[in-house]
Amino acid sequence: MAVQYMQAIAARYLSLGYTPYRWFSAQTPPPWSPVTKPLAEMTLGMLSTSGAYALGQCAYHYKDDTSIREIASDTPDAALRFSHITENYLVDARLDPSCVFPLETLRRLVRAGVVGRLASHVLSCMGGVYSQRRVREEVAPAVLTAFQRRHIDAALLVAM
């Protein structure tokens, strides 16, 4: 059964006596770049909002952490860790990182020739940032800069 996520959040906020949750609404459409080559010739990047980080990197803070982690794309699942403001959503990720950070699946797609190359590093952020302004002014530009630096042709967004 499909969960109507936005309606469920709105109802939950109302039941708790909070002001209505303000969903982001873009003022302009996002820029669009048509695909100019097959996926099998592209360098693919990834951004996961799961709060993933690799052993040796700092965990995320639990309130409005707008930092990103660049994780080597050859990092084994056993070296991935997760920290997120919504800890209760991380039970499955800690058992099987691929459900929110599918590095092994992407590597398999590269080996099969479906994807040309996987970027040398993929990105993670902690998606529980409540300030739309900070996401727009801090997170989005940092992600764009990291993707541009790695010459990404296309990116997979894995939202948690």
109-119 confidence digits (pLDDT tens) = 999 999 999 99
| Stretch 128-152: mean pLDDT | 91
In this structure, what DSSP letter does residue 80 have?
A: E
Span 5-53, pLDDT tens digits: 778 888 888 898 888 777 777 788 878 888 889 999 999 999 999 889 9
CA nearest to 48, candidates 33, 56, 60: 60
Residue 146 has a CB neighbour count (10 Å cut-off) of 19
Residue 124 has a CB neighbour count (10 Å cut-off) of 27
What per-residue confidence (pLDDT) applies to 74? 97
Quote the distance between the C-alpha of residue 88 and its chain's center: 17
Query: If you search the block for the tokens 């929110």, which residue do you land on?
Result: 100
What per-residue confidence (pLDDT) applies to 89? 66
